[in-house]
């Protein structure tokens, strides 16, 4: 299944709505819980997810220039700044107000938008023990995985093929390693070591 066969935009909107519902039930201290994004709490992740809805292209360019045009440094600085100046209620309101926002990562299209929302949603829900996205939604993210996206996270799948147990997904070539698609996504994005999942 690919983005040319499925309209991914409704899935991205549904994932934002699902995450907003879960965040609404968090206690104050849970907003300060560590996420799967190294060095970020839940509030920094939500600030990052919602940052594109609150900024403009000129501000992004200025922010990039201030960090030597390193997107990762810019994103980290922006997330920390916004998380410090905005309350949990404000961050949640920003997400709720933009569930149907048409934003897509530059050059990434609907597949990148869905990946962004789904991956960062897992960064929050996994440590807190909250429900994961539906397997079919995660499968759509995985179906649009490219060699470039795999290399971005620096995960080496040499000699291994990850196979979904709850959706028809296969990534890589080599020895089959079966796991739920959620765990495949966590593995290929560097959130979970592959060594702990091999047999």
Whether 93 and 175 share a structural domain: no
Average pLDDT over residues 12-27: 98
Closest residue by Cα to residue 10 from 95, 114, 159: 114
Whether 168 and 129 share a structural domain: no
Question: Does the structure show a pLDDT above 90 at 164?
Answer: yes
Whether 73 and 116 share a structural domain: yes
pLDDT given at position 126:
98
Mean pLDDT, rounded, of the chain: 92
Share above pLDDT 90 across residues of the chain, in percent, rounded to a whole number: 80
| Pairwise CA distance, residues 142 & 185, whole Å | 7
Lowest mean pLDDT among 88-97, 99-108, 135-144: 99-108
| Pairwise CA distance, residues 145 & 197, whole Å | 20
Helix residue ranges, H only, the chain: 9-23, 42-54, 57-66, 71-85, 88-97, 109-128, 135-143, 147-152, 181-188
Whether 153 and 77 share a structural domain: no
**Per-residue pLDDT tens for 51-73?**
999 998 889 999 889 989 998 99
Whether 129 and 173 share a structural domain: no
Whether 194 and 115 share a structural domain: no
Whether 6 and 81 share a structural domain: yes
Question: Does the structure show a pLDDT above 80 at 1?
Answer: no
What is the total count of domains within the chain? 2
Lowest mean pLDDT among 1-5, 55-59, 116-120: 1-5
pLDDT given at position 106:
86
pLDDT given at position 197:
44
The token duo for 151 is: 């290399």
Question: Does the structure show a pLDDT above 70 at 138?
Answer: yes
Alpha-carbon separation of residue 81 from 11, 45, 77, 135 (angstroms): 29, 12, 6, 33
**In this structure, how many other beta carbons lie within 10 angstroms of the beta carbon of residue 106?**
10
Between 58 and 48, name the one with better pLDDT: 48
pLDDT band at 2 (very low <50, low <70, confident <90, very high): very low
Whether 20 and 48 share a structural domain: yes
Share above pLDDT 70 across residues of the chain, in percent, rounded to a whole number: 95
Average pLDDT over residues 5-28: 95
Q: What is the CATH classification number for the domain harbouring 119?
A: 1.20.120
Q: Could you list the residue range(s) of the whole structural domain that residue 134 is in? A: 1-100+109-140
Phi, psi of 130 (to 5 degrees): -90, 160
**Per-residue pLDDT tens for 173-189?**
999 999 999 999 999 99
**Per-residue pLDDT tens for 140-156?**
999 999 888 888 888 88
Whether 18 and 85 share a structural domain: yes
Whether 149 and 128 share a structural domain: no
Whether 127 and 149 share a structural domain: no
pLDDT given at position 146:
86
Whether 77 and 47 share a structural domain: yes
pLDDT given at position 154:
86
């Amino acid at each position: 299944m690919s983005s040319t066969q499925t309209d991914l935009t409704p899935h991205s909107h549904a994932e934002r709505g699902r995450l907003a519902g879960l965040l609404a039930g968090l206690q104050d201290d849970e907003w300060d819980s560590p996420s799967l994004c190294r060095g970020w709490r839940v509030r920094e992740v939500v600030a990052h997810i919602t940052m594109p809805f609150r900024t403009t292209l000129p501000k992004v360019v200025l922010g990039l220039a201030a960090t030597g045009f390193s997107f990762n440094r810019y994103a980290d600085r922006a997330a920390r700044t916004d998380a410090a100046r905005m309350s949990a209620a404000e961050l949640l309101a920003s997400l709720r107000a933009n569930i149907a926002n048409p934003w897509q990562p530059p050059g990434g299209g609907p597949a990148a938008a869905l990946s962004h929302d789904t991956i960062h949603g897992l960064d929050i829900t996994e440590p807190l023990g909250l429900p994961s996205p539906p397997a079919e939604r995660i499968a759509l993210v995985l179906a649009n995985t490219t060699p470039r996206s795999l290399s971005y996270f620096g995960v080496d799948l040499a000699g291994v093929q990850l196979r979904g147990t709850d959706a028809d997904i296969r990534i890589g070539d080599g020895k089959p390693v079966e796991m739920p698609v959620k765990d495949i996504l966590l593995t290929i994005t560097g959130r979970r070591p592959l060594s702990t999942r091999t047999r």
